[in-house]
Structure 1
Amino acid sequence: MAASRRPDAAEYRARIIGAAREVIADSDDVKLNAIAKRAGVGQGTLYRHFPTREALLAEVYRYEVEELVATAPVLLAEHEPVRALALWLDRVAEYSQVKRGVFDALEVGVWQHLSEHSLGPIGDALTTLLDAGKSRGAIRHDVDARDVILLLGYLARIDSSEWNERAHRLLVVILDGLRRHD
């Protein structure tokens, strides 16, 4: 029976992706054997789901983008727009750590391709959040998703040794700049 048809295949795949995400966030050195061990699967299982390191890292990145995009409407349903945007920006910081780890581990051509395909959905999610805030008069009307994405580019420049100290504080600065101050 093929791995994709086994009832436990989806669970193994999810465990591998979760473990890879943790390893990427915790270490500068992404090793497949460490991912398999953390996921509680053998290397054969890992390679059946992801035949190459690049395939696994690309899937982790795609998963992160999907999660980030899916979070925006959920946050808007549960919180007022500025709070939803603040919580989403916190999620962006987590995403950025994984993104940096993935991009550090991939060849330039592969990560450029991944990045090109993620900007549209992320921009759409951000536009949803900004528009909700604008409609309530809480977010400046002269900013758009591209402005915020450009500002968020600083996350790639934060050294991992400074991450905990700076990332979220700088996101608060961006959020304060997005607020409408009359």
Structure 2
Amino acid sequence: MNKGMTWYVRHYLFSFIVLGCLFFFFGSPNIKAESKDDEKKFRAALEKYLVENMHYYDSKSAIVKDTIITNGHVKKIITVDDPETPENEEKVEEYDSTIVVGYVKAQQRRDSFFLFDSTNIYYYAVDKNEFIDNSQIIGNNDVSNFFQTYSNKTYKEITPWSLTLFMLMLSLVVIVPIFIMLFHNISKETARFPRYQNDDKNISL
């Protein structure tokens, strides 16, 4: 290798290293900042979505346990084809978007004091500002892996405190009538006893 070629290779490597360092120091913070902005948008939209779509949602109880941010292709069926007509009425919308996927825990409040913990996976298309279904995201391994991780961890169950309260109320419903019957029978027996005693005195006279 001649000197000219050696100088060219060294110059090329030096430029590559400088560009790499510039990207690391200036590009990475920008990417992280964009990711934080996308997650903030997701959290803000999530609260509104749960208020409008989750029955008995306890306002501001949602906790985002884990998230991923990825780029993906979305395919939505806007209008379904009517099989009874010869025309194809199906309308499809397709677009690329930044997608935030979150594993979320929220609470549902029933009868004012019974709380249920509910966990689910939510998919948010940032560019369209809308929540979508897992089936509408086409060929994204990050989304598939996230779903596989948390699909078996989605549930809805009553909180321990609410369960204790429910069992206490149930026991009162069963026990209170029994006590009422017992006290009622005792009071009847007590009321009869003096009458029998007076009858005995009248007989002896």
Q: What TM-score does the superposition give when structure 2 sets the normalisation length?
A: 0.23
The structure carrying a bigger helix percent of its residues is: 1
Q: What TM-score does the superposition give when structure 1 sets the normalisation length?
A: 0.25
- Higher alpha-carbon Rg: 2
The structure carrying a bigger strand percent of its residues is: 2
**Larger RCO, structure (CA 8 Å, separation 6 or more):** 1
